Amino acid sequence: MNVPYPISDIQKAEFASSGHILLEGVATNAFVRQYRPIIRDACMHFGTETRPIEERDTYGKAFLQTTNLWQRDQKVRDFVFQSRFAEVAATLLGVEKVRLYHDQALFKEPGGGPTPWHQDQYYWPLDTDRTITMWMPLVDIDSNAGMLTFASGSHRGGAVDDLAISDESDRILAGHVADKRYPVVRAERMAAGDATFHLGLTIHTAGGNGSEIMREVMTIIYFADQTRITEPRNSHQRADLETWLRPRMPGQLADGELNPVLN
Ligand SMILES: O=C(O)CCC(=O)C(=O)O
């Protein structure tokens, strides 16, 4: 893990054109073996969902979400602060340095519902399109276990609508993806430690978890250094400003203590 992960010019071009890419072995087997129990325990400890799946709404059924574990657990911080991950993010974005936005563990339970089609950037008061998420399963998964699925090239259409993740975003963006004939792309399987990276504007979804195992996924979101904060455009962006960017304010550089440079 101390050596950089190699990215070829072909992979960079693929990412620029598709808005997403699958990379194998971004974390080594030994590294995943070491950190999987740490992240799982942190999710158990800090997770707050207690309702049975049947009683939750669409968002609640999609995954158990536990955020910014790096602030709560020193060992998870070691995982999130890996410069190897951040360097891949910077290389794919074509920028020199990236900052941490936040991390989230997204565990989709067996029987968990689909993740509606959405664009991440709707949530983020950041004045850049240079935002990227690393999505890494900590267990081997097949396509029926809630694989992340992308509308290839959809980032080039910009922000499509002002929609939070919901049944409505799912309906409208599924229609948009079909109208624009974006290829819908997902991996058949991913091994623990493989990762996908996608841009904040890439339209994406994930299926329900039809397998019998918990889909344990860890994500890390980065943005380009020197990015400024925008005036929040919705309640989610106001919450993000408070939660992930404090003490910085709209108009300022997003370079507060919660947003360190990681490469
Ligand atoms: O893991 C999922 O089901 C959805 C993840 C996602 O939308 C993201 O990481 O941006």
Nearest CA owner, ligand 1 atom 1: 106
Q: What would the pLDDT profile of 177-233 be if each residue is shown by its tens digit? A: 999 999 999 999 999 999 999 999 999 999 999 999 999 999 999 999 999 999 999
Q: What is the DSSP string of the chain?
A: --SPPP--HHHHHHHHHHSEEEETTSS-HHHHHHHHHHHHHHHHHH----S-GGGS-HHHHH-EEEE-GGGT-HHHHHHHT-HHHHHHHHHHHT-S-EEEEEEEEEEEPTTPPPEEEE-GGGG--BS-S-EEEEEEESS-EETTBT-EEEETTGGGG-------SSHHHHHHHHHHHHHHTPPEEE-SEE-TT-EEEEETTS-EEE--B-SSS-EEEEEEEEEETTPBBPPP-SHHHHHHHHHHSTT--TTSBS-STTS-B--
| pLDDT for 162 | 86
Going from the Cα of 205 to the center of ligand 1, the distance in angstroms, rounded, reads 7
Going from the Cα of 18 to the center of ligand 1, the distance in angstroms, rounded, reads 17
Mean pLDDT of the chain: 97
For residue 161, pLDDT over 90 is answered with no
* CATH level 3 topology of 10-244: Jelly Rolls (2.60.120)
Pocket test for ligand 1, best of 148, 154, 169, 173 (most atoms within 8 A of CB): 148
| pLDDT for 163 | 87
Q: What would the pLDDT profile of 39-96 be if each residue is shown by its tens digit? A: 999 999 999 999 999 999 998 999 999 999 999 999 999 999 999 999 999 999 999 9
Nearest CA owner, ligand 1 atom 5: 148
Where do the structural domains in the chain lie, given as residue ranges? 10-244
